[in-house]
């Protein structure tokens, strides 16, 4: 299982639009992807409600894990979304 830690750059954290973009990107990959705080139980990165339930704020560190075909590509794309400062 591939794993990466990143800090959330969005000023609003992983809420609303950033979460929606993240979940849609996770769903495009064949790999099983999860997200969570370090040391806590992760949630399915393809579930909007699960991702929003984490209530992750600006500057918090999260752990992304991916397993299966395209795991490394999934982590690369998803981590880039999380470290982006675009809050469009």
Give this prediction's pTM. Answer: 0.92
Task: Say if 52 falls within a structural domain.
Answer: yes
CATH number at residue 57: 3.30.1340.10
Task: Say if 88 falls within a structural domain.
Answer: no
Task: Say if 65 falls within a structural domain.
Answer: yes
Q: Is 29 a catalytic residue?
A: no
Q: Tell me which residue range forms the domain holding 23.
A: 2-83
Task: Say if 18 falls within a structural domain.
Answer: yes
- Options 15, 43, 52, 79, the catalytic residue: 15
Q: How many domains does the chain have?
A: 1
Q: CA Rg, the chain, in Å?
A: 11
Task: Say if 69 falls within a structural domain.
Answer: yes
From first to last of the 88 residues of the chain, give the pLDDT tens digit.
899 999 999 999 999 899 999 999 999 999 999 999 999 999 999 999 999 999 999 999 999 999 999 999 999 999 999 998 665 5
pLDDT at residue 87, rounded to an integer: 56
pLDDT at residue 44, rounded to an integer: 98
Looking at the DSSP bridge assignments, the partners of residue 72 are none
Cα→Cα distances 9→29, 80, 87, Å: 22, 10, 9
């Amino acid at each position: 299982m591939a794993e990466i830690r990143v800090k959330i750059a969005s000023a609003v954290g992983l809420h609303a639009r950033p979460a929606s973009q993240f979940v849609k990107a996770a769903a495009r990959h064949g790999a099983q992807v999860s997200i969570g705080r370090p040391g806590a139980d992760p949630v399915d990165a393809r579930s909007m409600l699960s991702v929003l339930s984490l209530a992750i704020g600006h500057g918090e560190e999260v752990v992304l894990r991916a397993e299966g075909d395209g795991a490394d590509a999934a982590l690369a794309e998803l981590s880039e979304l999380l470290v982006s400062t675009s809050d469009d």
